[in-house]
Structure 1
Amino acid sequence: MTTYFISDLHLHDTRPAITRAFFNWLDAISGHCAALYILGDLFEVWIGDDDDNPEHRRIVERLRQLRQADIPLYVMHGNRDFLLGPAFAAASGAELLDDPTVIDLYGEPVLLMHGDSLCTRDHDYMAFRRQARSPDWQAQLLAKPLAERRAIAAALREQSRSMNSLKAEDIMDVTPAEVVKVMEAHGVQTLIHGHTHRPQRHHLSANGAAAERIVLGDWGPQGWCLAVSPTRRELSSWPLAGE
């Protein structure tokens, strides 16, 4: 059996090919999947558990089918879907994970994160992240009508695209010192995260020993996953039909 890790699918009704590819991938792994971890940004946008978007409901139902097949499902908030809440968890059967979370992965403590909190050089984004994670701010947003929330989400996405186009590439990547700091604070030698859309396996030193940071890829022209068993770790990609 294999444990799978994915992130940054950014599922949206304007990207139906990605949703189809995700469903096909779930079918392909279901017979040998010990657990599935989705480390943030499963959705391009999530404006609240009361959202009546038909595509989102279809995705939630597909996740529910996964759980009905007795496959444990874990979902972490990303910077696009930080409003995923208890109603989503109940409907999908997923367990919502704190960011960060340490799990026991075949006998090794492994740190899981979305990854955005590691990008400490992006001061504008870090300020927005603190605001967006505030319970008061979220409550005020969720109290607004769905139509208004959709408009706010669209404006925030456009603002993000505009601001990111002006930033240096390294600012939007993780801060190496922050990576080591977080890994040592949690006493781990392996960190798995997404967010940066820069899939790679990085070797570093933490806690006075060799360590590894595994970055998951975003789904677009290619799908990405990390497959882990007691004997292997494989970060792989494959072309998505229609992309």
Structure 2
Amino acid sequence: MTTPPLITDSHCHLDFPDFDGELPDILTRAREAGVHRMVTICTRLRNEPTVRALAEAHAQVFYAAGTHPMSAAEEPLATLDELLALTAHPKMVGIGESGLDYHYTAESADIQKQSLRVHIEAAQRTGLPLIIHARAADEDMADILSAEHKNAPYSCVMHCYCSGPELAKSCLDLGFYLSMSGIATFPKSQEVRDIFASAPVDRVLVETDSPYLAPVPRRGKRNEPAYTAFTAGVGAQVFDMSAEEFAAQTEQNFERLFTKVAAYKVAA
């Protein structure tokens, strides 16, 4: 039996109820598919203790925390001190996800921008990567990310990238990363694949965003970290690389961006 190449699911949501009672099996399937690490994302800070506990209980799980833009109007505004305090944990490795979503929650644009700037400052202060959700807000997103980067540099990944080529170029010019999700495997997603094909391969990550956006051939099912392998397979095709070469490249990229994960591995 061929051993699959090692890859990392850089963005999933293991605390969501879709996975209740199944986590041991989910982690086993991930390991069998070559997904040896994952970053589970806390989208509401009041849930941070639950997400942190998942990372503490499982060696292959790390976590990030922030306020999702679609929740920004429903949750207390995250404070800089609050975010900075959370980063003391050795397995808390990123800030977010934050960002802007004008597709579903355009009415809360102002509070989303305010929340985003708090998260950016936390990334600037800590050196941890900012994790960005962007939907139907390309112009505002590019303006804010660029302006704040001029104030003080920071690192960033545009998670589940499916926005336009202009925002992608703006982010890549800032040294940011683009993360490929199951959307890139959908037949009608050629524009997304073209955007990734024009990006430097050393600035690309892979993810599931599970339980959402299961890739082909699992489209329409509940997504899970093991399915990162399907997206990575499409990524290898996009960059005309072997599965092993693309996996190795995305591993290098992930550790370059998520430096705390790489340091934790070495320390362990």
TM-score scaled by structure 1?
A: 0.45
Name the structure where helix makes up a greater proportion of residues: 2
TM-score scaled by structure 2?
A: 0.42
Name the structure where strand makes up a greater proportion of residues: 1
